[in-house]
Amino acid sequence: MRLGIVGGGPAGISLAWFLKGTKIQATVYEGLEDVGKKPCAWGVLKGIESYLELPKEAIYSEIRGFRIFLDNKLVSEVRGRERLGYIVNKPLLLKRLGEKVELRLNSKVVFDREGKLKVNGKVEEVDRVVVATGHYSLDKGATIPAIQYITDLPFDPEIVDMYFYSDLLGYGWIFPDPNGAKIGVGGYAEIPFLMEKLKGLTRGKIMSFHGARVADNGIIEDRLNGRYVGEALGAVYAVTGEGIRPSIITSKIMADSLLEGKDFGKEMRRSKIYWTLKVHADVIRRAKASNSVKGLERVLLKADPKLVIKFAMGDFGKLDLIKLFGSAII
């Protein structure tokens, strides 16, 4: 079978990587001249090792601690010897994975009236297409704006800071970067409001500014049809914005489903990643419905910091949720 994968981000390239050397011939079509262009904080949390080996040269540092702030006051901190994740060079990571698959850059993809895949004006003979174009294929209402500075702030390479606010349904962050720090804010607000929040976080000399939209509604049920993976499927943790690892996990489930002749939707719905993404989305949905982040504030202020970190990382079970939120969230 010939598989066309539209989009050369973490989901698209990893799907081809999982299929290399199998009966499925996968080709990734990326519209830009290079991979890894979408701005993000480059964090990949633990568990990714179960799916693929990160090239050593693409790892900047190992995450061993998290700090969580509410209205700029430290409320939770966890740090130890355990590796909680990585800060990666995302463009280099995707480039290295892309070297091992059929990746075509500068490939402008459209579908003609008959539904055939056309790349740079020519029909590509493929048996199946999977869309991995991230937020670009989503309605604006299914995403939030996120903005980010890269500064020269000296920042501990093993620590990640997450910020939450009583007047913003969203989040801020400071992630270590080879040049200093990535400092950003995203949420359900207009850009001027987010810029004010970002000014309150920013330290160091600003070297560059980026912006993007991020999926924030959880898995989109009507896209569990075997045609979408990654952020195009909604695979982003809504409370924290983590997307690289969940995107790669959805691609592994897709690859296994294709190779084993199984229904992707059914396989996704029985997976832990589906459930944990849904829980994150439910927390955001409840906050939107009540027009308040008080519930999340209570969790941040009163819960065991280790449980808060587990929830933020998507590494939780039902008992953890009961301890954090009570039975209402289950």
Q: Give the pLDDT band (50/70/90) at residue 302.
A: confident
User: How confident is the model at residue 329, as a pLDDT?
Assistant: 62
Question: Is pLDDT at 328 greater than 80 in this prediction?
Answer: no
Contacts of 33 (CB under 8 A, 6+ apart): 105, 106
Average pLDDT in the 251-273 region?
98
Percent pLDDT > 70 in the chain is 99
Q: Is the pTM of this model over 0.85?
A: yes
Asked if residues 180 and 218 have their Cβ atoms less than 8 Å apart, the reply is: no
User: How confident is the model at residue 294, as a pLDDT?
Assistant: 85
Average pLDDT in the 188-192 region?
97
Higher pLDDT, 299 or 69: 69
Average pLDDT in the 234-249 region?
97
Q: Which helix (H) or strand (E) holds 279?
A: helix 272-290
Contacts of 139 (CB under 8 A, 6+ apart): none
Instruction: Provide the token pair at 37.
Output: 């262009």
Question: Is pLDDT at 216 greater than 70 in this prediction?
Answer: yes
Average pLDDT in the 85-90 region?
97
Q: Rounded mean pLDDT of the chain?
A: 95
The CATH class, in words, for 2-269 is: alpha beta
Residue type present at position 235: A
Percent pLDDT > 90 in the chain is 89
User: How confident is the model at residue 326, as a pLDDT?
Assistant: 80
User: How confident is the model at residue 301, as a pLDDT?
Assistant: 84
User: How confident is the model at residue 114, as a pLDDT?
Assistant: 84
| Cα 88 from Cα 92, distance rounded (Å) | 8
pLDDT tens readout for residues 5-15:
999 999 999 99
* 44: phi then psi, degrees, rounded to nearest 5: -130, 115
Q: Give the pLDDT band (50/70/90) at residue 115.
A: confident
Residue 306: count other Cβ atoms within 10 Å of its Cβ: 13
Average pLDDT in the 51-71 region?
96
Contacts of 218 (CB under 8 A, 6+ apart): 234, 238, 277, 278, 280, 281, 282
Question: Is pLDDT at 190 greater than 70 in this prediction?
Answer: yes
Higher pLDDT, 119 or 325: 119
pLDDT tens readout for residues 193-202:
999 999 999 9
What is the per-residue DSSP string for 42-76?
-EEETTGGGT-PPPGGGEEEEE-EEEEEETTEEEE
Distances (CA, A) of 165 to 41, 67, 69, 267: 19, 14, 8, 36
